[in-house]
A and B are shown apart, each in its own frame.
Chain A
Amino acid sequence: MKKELEGLFRDAERLLPPPELWDRIASQSPLVSAQASAHRDPRLAAPTGMDAKGGAGRDRDAGPSEVLRALKGSAAGKDARPDAAWEEAPYLRAAAVILAAALLGLAAFGFFRRPAGEPVREAAVSPAALAGSAAEVFDPELLDWQASLGDFVTEADETGEAP
């Protein structure tokens, strides 16, 4: 009976995996063959969410850690490239413009400011000197006549006669 049992198992029907079984497995598997990965279109390797500029994290030769680092950087509003941060941050540009304007203002102020320690220039002509110089320029008699002429005009206004 033991031999009969052994024969039963030995002669038992054995199934063979159908060829399409592997095809189904391969199509569902997340794995990629080494040959396919070697010939893979590099554009397909670019992580999603990256633009065509080719900045950090968009580097097709970047390793996974580099890509992750770049993704972390972009998630925090930063970029792995210092110049990229400059290009892509508007507030930095505005701050630079303000700084440049301030520097220009300071430079202009320094240029037109009087040199330190120089005394304040006095008024060119004092009132007394002005009076003296007027006496020198104008004849005193003429000045008297001008004064009497004023009196005459006043009188004429009072009498209503034309001078």
Chain B
Amino acid sequence: MKPPIDAEGKSLDDLRAGRLEGLQWIYGTFAERLLNQCYRILLSREQAEDVVQDLFVRLPSIIGEFRGESALGTWLYRVAHNMCLNRLQQAKNRAKLEWENAGDLAPRARETSVELSDLLSKAMAELDAETRSLLWLKEGEGVPLKELSGIFALPEGTLKSRLSRARDKVKEYLDQEAKVEKGA
């Protein structure tokens, strides 16, 4: 293992040694990006903050899983992505259970509470959570395809076609919105 020469390496050493400064540096560097990634997946600011908080509280205990095979940011994106999907799955299961227990014909709850604060959020709400995460990281954060392949554990070709379909869907939504505006 190479000796730490940069700030990221030092912060990792600090974190592994149980010093809060290490966590603080990682938070200062990545928290905003992770928060926005979670927000685009969960479509809820409150839930996004919850996930980011949970991630950083648990980071000292899971940092042993990070072996330096990818950049720390890439690894954190993957962790955040998985945590968001887990949360959505739990919410979905809970909603399904509640609906089944209710035994009536109430409309099935959405997988998450959606805060449609801007046009992009509205467009992305048309996509499934995993595709939202992929599209946001590619277009919103500018993560290269190679890194995305590491985050989603999928070949670049598969990601490219998924991204293409996602873009088409968003465009389609924007076109519809534009037509509605024109009609109004």
Contacts and interface: CB of A to CB of B under 8 A. Distances in A.
Interface of A: 1, 4-6, 8-9, 12-18, 21-22, 24-26, 28-34, 36-37
A21 B119 contact: no
Contacts, number: 86
Given A13-B117, A22-B31, A32-B20, 5 more contacts: A13-B118, A13-B120, A25-B27, A28-B53, A31-B19
The interface residues of chain B, by DSSP majority, are classed as helix
B165 interface: no
Interface of B: 14-15, 18-24, 27, 31-32, 35-36, 39, 45, 48-49, 52-53, 56-57, 60, 117-121, 123, 136, 139-140, 167, 170-171, 174
B140 A12 contact: yes
A25 B139 contact: no
Nearest to B33: A14
Contacts of A16: 32, 35
A32 B49 contact: no
B30 to A, nearest CB: 10
A21 B52 contact: yes
Contacts of A5: 139, 167, 170-171, 174
Nearest to B34: A17
B28 to A, nearest CB: 8
Nearest to B120: A12
Contact of B21 (A14, A15, A33): A33
